[in-house]
Each structure stands twice: as structure tokens, then as C-alpha cells.
A = this chain, B = another copy of it.
Amino acid sequence: MSDTADRPSPESTDRNPRDMANAIRALAMDAVQKANSGHPGMPMGMADVATVLFQKFMRVDPQNPNWPDRDRFVLSAGHGSMLLYALHHLIGYADMDIDQLKAFRQMGSRTAGHPEYGHALGIETTTGPLGQGISTAVGMAIGERLMNARFGDDLVDHYTYVIAGDGCLMEGISHEAIDLAGNLNLSKLIVLWDDNGISIDGKVELATKMDQIARFKAAGWNTWSVDGHDADAIEAAIAEARKSDKPAFIACKTIIGYGAPNKAGTHKVHGEALGDDEIAATRKALVWESEPFELPEAVVKGWREVATKGAKARKAWEERLAASDKRDRFETAVNCTLPAAFAEEMQSYRQALAKDKPKVATRKSSEMALEVVNRLTELTIGGSADLTGSNNTKTKDMVSVTADDFSGRYIHYGVREHGMSAAMNGIALHGGAIPYGGTFLVFSDYARGAMRLSALMGIRVIYVLTHDSIGLGEDGPTHQPVEHLTMLRATPNMLVFRPADAVETAEIWEIALTETKRPSVLALTRQGLPTVREDVSENLSAKGGYVLKEAEGSRDVTIMASGSEVEIALKAAETLAGEGLKAAVVSMPSMELFAEQDAAYRAEVLGQAPRIAVEAAIGMSWDRWLGDNGRFIGMTGFGASAPAPKLYEHFGITPAAVVAAAKDLAAKA
């Protein structure tokens, strides 16, 4: 243990910086001990850094946790959740009373094993899956710059602070994030690295020799290295970092489990309770005499000054907002309010489509819908992971964001699907914008970690995933998704859409934009599709599945399909009609929304006749809708490299195959 660390710095005007940090240590070790589960090492190691950060710099107001111009704090090393909960208790978030700390990791408590967005006030994002926090924070810092460019320093001017550990920096997503941050020169992003030299397997040297300082410099960051137990050094570094003209990386050399005489500095203190003996010894070493979950009054008073300062800043900001001529526009942005005419305009657009009947790929009809959307609202922030022209995500008037100018609304995320997705999470969490971003559907594989967090947090992030089947053709099986629709449909709280034509695509954009509690995936074709919807009186996609074409008379078969295969289903139904078999065609743009309809509606759509489902993908997600005697026409394995029409023939996803299955079913009925 460093012998300078326990000493309050002489210049400090604070009563008890040592005890303030030790309060975090005590709460962390006692809560983990009581739960007999959790990670004490990181909160104890980073207590000094966190104390300096909050006491000297953080501008938050626990009474107004969602104040838009607050600083953001992201605990990227989310396993150290007790650091965050202790901080929130100490600075006085109303919902983080001592009983919550006592109920750490217990059913129904706000103090989950890892910080969960929405479980308690002031938790800016869910962390725990390593690397997500730092990458989401990049999105928050982008959000801040976007808002700042629109509303000026008076209304938007705050920092995004991150505490990240070795694990975060080893994860690939951190590379994508820091490269993006460097390119956009996010100078108000400050990352504090808990450089404790320990990971779960033991010393980090087992797995990495990375020179992190050199790495961040290579990505265009400014860097500092400090003793993470030296309050003055930490304060000086953060002060400089705040003035930095680039994103800032501060390596804080720390001792994991600082204060625990026998276990500090080892991986034993990382992920389990210290044990009664070591806790007693730690109390002694830290000269911390309070009982578990009790705090000296002076310490509490010291911590509450953070809230006092925050409240003052917030009040001053509110006065500036009240006086601002941008107030209305600002509030529209913060509340992500779509214009009153939004639904009506989207409806007129769909009426025009029904008349024009364009034959275009749904990636193109997505762009067409976005042309309408992006004219109606300035909330949407588009982007792509280096597939702009393929994803059709950039509408005509969109200007690209650059390091020097954030007034644009299109982001070149680079070949970084995971980093893009996490950044979109950050933009959505920051507020003031609705992010959408594109890549190929198959590369949702690369983005899964962040996409799952969009769903878990329940935030409005829109994934524009084009090239959604073997229909992409020659690029072959590496680029042809087959299992991805199932994978995404299996993900809780995620809306997965696969529109059949331009009308459904427009409907789906309206749903995705107005759905505030769930992310949406739009699976879109590369290849052209005819307009199949005639009746646009209602947003039928909102029901998830609907009868696109009813059989003439009582059904012999119901053919269900999504996306590009709806055309195949319609052709099959037509052929069948010619042969005297009555087929209904159900378009199923979203299984999730269909599952949410009442049983009577679902039964009416699905009908009593045998069912066939057609989708150029693995059939697993259709089993629920097929019934015991249903048939699936689709993929059973990986795709191949050839022109799309050849592939559909080769894999037997054709009207003829549907017709044959329908006849067979009818013969057996």
C-alpha cells in the first residue's frame, strides 16, 4: 500500500478526503460480505479516484437525476457496481437508502449484481459485459456534442466520465470505441483506467503486454498517468483532461482491494467477499471504526456537498434555459417529441406509395421512408458501419458529422458494428436524439453484445440491417444471414421487422420511431420487391401479422411469409387458385407484435387450414405458428455464392415449392 494515499492532501479544503474514500471501501466490502457475492476489489481500489472525481468535478443533482446538462458517469467495469451504489448512497439519491445497500444482489433490490439502467435513479447505462460502458460513453459524448452544436454552451456543456478496467480495454469493442472517439475528437470524454494489473486469471501479464498509453495516443487521445491513490495527482490530471482538446485517457495506477492487508493486490479480492477476518483487518488498516452500513456524520456531510454543488449548477442552468429562445426546440429534443403531424404525414406517404406501387428493394424503400422522416423531424441521427451506400441510410439532405462540426446528423461509424451499436445506445441514453444505424444483417453477429443491451435497457435504437437473406446473392454464405432472424426474434424486448414492400417499410419506420421502450431491427432486402399492399387505411404492420390476401371461400391452406418471400407466397396462392385450391396469404412483418395481439385476432389470421411458412432463413422461429402439420419452406443450412435468383431456385424457395407443399397438405387433409 502506498503510504501517501491515506494522507489528506495539504492543499485540500476538504474535511476528510481519506474518510470519504474509505466510506466507499467500507460500504463495498460490507455489502459484498452480506450478500456473500460480488466484487469488492475494484470499488476499494478506485475509491480514491471516484472520490476526487465526484467531490471536485462531477456535476449531478441527485434531486433531479435526469437534468439534461448533468455530467454523465459510466462505470464501465460494471462488476464494481458497489462503487456506484455507494456513491449514489453517499451523495443522496433518494432511492438508494442504506437498506438497498444491505440488499445488494437480492431479489427485487435496486442494487443488482451489475448496474442496471432504470433500476435506480442516476444509473446512466447498464454495464457488466466488459467494454460496453466505455463504448456507450462514446455515444453519450457524441450526444453531448450533437446537442451542443444545436443549442450552444449555455444549454449543453457537460462531461462524460468513465471508469474502465483491464477487461474493458482488452475487449475488441474498446478498440472500435476509442478509434471512433479519436476520429470525432470527443474532447469532453474522460476515461479513468483502473490500472491494477490484475484480472480474474491472475496478473494481467498472463494475457496482455499492451502499452495502453501508447495505444490511446495512437487513436488520437491525450493521456496522463497517475498514482490512483494520490488525490492531488488525480485532481490535477482530471483538471487538465477537462481542458484537453482531444478525448482524455488517465491511467490510474491502483491496488485492487486497497486497504485489505492480506488480499489487496491479488486476484483473490476481485470477485468474492473478503471474509470476516480480512474485513476486520481492513477496518483496522483504514482506521475505519464505524459498524457495517453505518457512516460518520462528517463523512456524510462531506459527500452531500457534491449534491449541493450539483443543485446549484442545475438551478443556474434552469435559469439559462428559461431565458433561452431555444427553449421549445430544446425541450422537443430532450423529450424526443415527434411532430404532431407525424402520423398523418406518414399516412399520406403510404397512400402515395399504394398509388405509385414502386418496385424497389426494401433497403431503398427504407431510404424513401427516411426521406419523409428526416424532413419531419431533426431528432433522427443516422449512420452506418461503412456501408452507407448499401444500407441506404443517408438521405439527401443529411450532412456528415465531423470532428470539427457536429451540426450534421449522419455519422460514419467506420467498419465497427459493435462500436456503432454501443454508440447508438449512448446517443439514445444521452437523450435529444433517436439514433439509427446500418450494417448487413449477418453482421449483427458482431454487434450482439450491444444490441442485447439495447433490448435489456429498453431504449429506442433502430438497427437498419440490409442484405437480409440469400437474396444478397454473390457475396456468399459469409454474408448471407440464415440464423439471424431467429437469433434476434429470440432476444427479449427486441422488435424484429421484415417488411414485404415499401408500404410495410413505411409502416415499420413509424412503429420503430414511436416505440420508446424497445429497440427495433429492420431486416431489409438488397433485391427489388413489388408493392404488394393495396389497403393502406390502417398500419397493419402494427399488428405484426395480418391477412394480406384472403382466400376466396373457406381456406384450404394459409401461406405465411415475411419480407421478400411474401411475393413468393402471393404467386403460389395465385397458382393454387388456378388449380382450385383456396389459399390465404399472411404477411408477418413482426412476430413479436403478432404475439401481442389477442388470441381471437391471432386465430382469425392463422385460420383453421393447414399452414405453410416461407422465409429465406432457418425456420426455428416459425415453429410456433406452423402447428403440428405445418410446412416450412426456407433454409436448412448455410447459403452459397451465386446470383440471387439461382440461389432461390437452388434452395427451393420458390412459388412451385409452396404450391407443391400446399397440394400435399390438401391431399392429406
Task: Point out residues on A near B: beta carbons under 8 Å.
Answer: 35, 37-38, 78, 105-109, 112-114, 116, 126-130, 166-167, 170-176, 179-180, 182-183, 199-201, 205-212, 214-215, 217-220, 384, 386-390, 400, 412-416, 418-419, 442-443, 445-446, 448-449, 452-453, 455-456, 473-479, 482-483, 486-487, 489-493, 618, 620-621, 623-624, 627-628, 635-638, 640-643, 646-647, 650
Q: Using Cβ atoms and an 8 Å threshold, which residues of chain B touch A106?
A: 641-643, 646
Q: Using Cβ atoms and an 8 Å threshold, which residues of chain B touch A78?
A: 478
Q: Are B419 and A116 in contact (CB under 8 A)?
A: no
A478 to chain B, nearest CB (A): 4
Q: Using Cβ atoms and an 8 Å threshold, which residues of chain B touch A482?
A: 492
Given A416-B170, A628-B628, are A128 and B476 neighbors across the interface (CB < 8 Å)?
yes
Q: Are A478 and B172 in contact (CB under 8 A)?
A: no
Q: Are A211 and B218 in contact (CB under 8 A)?
A: yes
Q: Using Cβ atoms and an 8 Å threshold, which residues of chain B touch A493?
A: 637-638
Q: Are A171 and B446 in contact (CB under 8 A)?
A: yes
Oligomer copy total: 2
Return 19 A-B CB contacts under 8 Å, by A number: A37-B473, A37-B643, A105-B474, A112-B476, A114-B641, A128-B478, A166-B415, A170-B416, A180-B207, A180-B208, A200-B386, A200-B390, A207-B386, A445-B448, A446-B449, A486-B486, A487-B490, A492-B637, A492-B638
List 5 tightest A-B contacts by C-beta distance, closest first. A172-B172, A207-B414, A175-B175, A623-B623, A107-B642
Q: Using Cβ atoms and an 8 Å threshold, which residues of chain B touch A628?
A: 627-628
Q: Which residue of B lies closest to A199 (CB)?
A: B386
Given A179-B208, A641-B113, are A646 and B172 neighbors across the interface (CB < 8 Å)?
no
Given A38-B474, A618-B492, are A171 and B416 neighbors across the interface (CB < 8 Å)?
yes
Q: Are A474 and B208 in contact (CB under 8 A)?
A: no
Q: Are B474 and A456 in contact (CB under 8 A)?
A: no
Q: Which residue of B lies closest to A171 (CB)?
A: B415
Q: Are A456 and B478 in contact (CB under 8 A)?
A: yes
Q: Are A620 and B627 in contact (CB under 8 A)?
A: no
**CA A588 – CA B175 in complex, angstroms?**
40
Q: Are A489 and B620 in contact (CB under 8 A)?
A: yes
Q: Are B486 and A386 in contact (CB under 8 A)?
A: no
Q: Are A650 and B415 in contact (CB under 8 A)?
A: no
Q: Are B201 and A384 in contact (CB under 8 A)?
A: yes
Q: Using Cβ atoms and an 8 Å threshold, which residues of chain B touch A113?
A: 474-476, 478-479, 641
Q: Are A172 and B170 in contact (CB under 8 A)?
A: no
Q: Using Cβ atoms and an 8 Å threshold, which residues of chain B touch A415?
A: 130, 166-167, 170-171, 199, 207
Given A218-B218, A492-B638, are A446 and B448 neighbors across the interface (CB < 8 Å)?
yes
A285 to chain B, nearest CB (A): 27
Q: Which residue of B lies closest to A38 (CB)?
A: B474
Q: Are A172 and B418 in contact (CB under 8 A)?
A: yes
Q: Are A476 and B114 in contact (CB under 8 A)?
A: yes
Q: Which residue of B lies closest to A619 (CB)?
A: B624
A610 to chain B, nearest CB (A): 12
Q: Are A116 and B201 in contact (CB under 8 A)?
A: no
What 17 new A-B contacts, CB under 8 Å, besides A128-B478, A128-B479, A182-B209?
Answer: A37-B473, A107-B643, A114-B479, A170-B386, A172-B419, A174-B175, A182-B210, A199-B414, A201-B387, A201-B389, A207-B412, A209-B220, A214-B217, A456-B638, A483-B490, A489-B620, A620-B621
Q: Are A37 and B474 in contact (CB under 8 A)?
A: yes
Max chain B C-beta neighbours (<10 A), residue from A478, A489, A627, A628: A478
Q: Are B214 and A492 in contact (CB under 8 A)?
A: no
Contact of A114 (CB < 8 Å), options: B37, B112, B475: B475
A562 to chain B, nearest CB (A): 16
**CA A624 – CA B449 in complex, angstroms?**
27
Max chain B C-beta neighbours (<10 A), residue from A387, A445, A627, A640: A445
A85 to chain B, nearest CB (A): 12
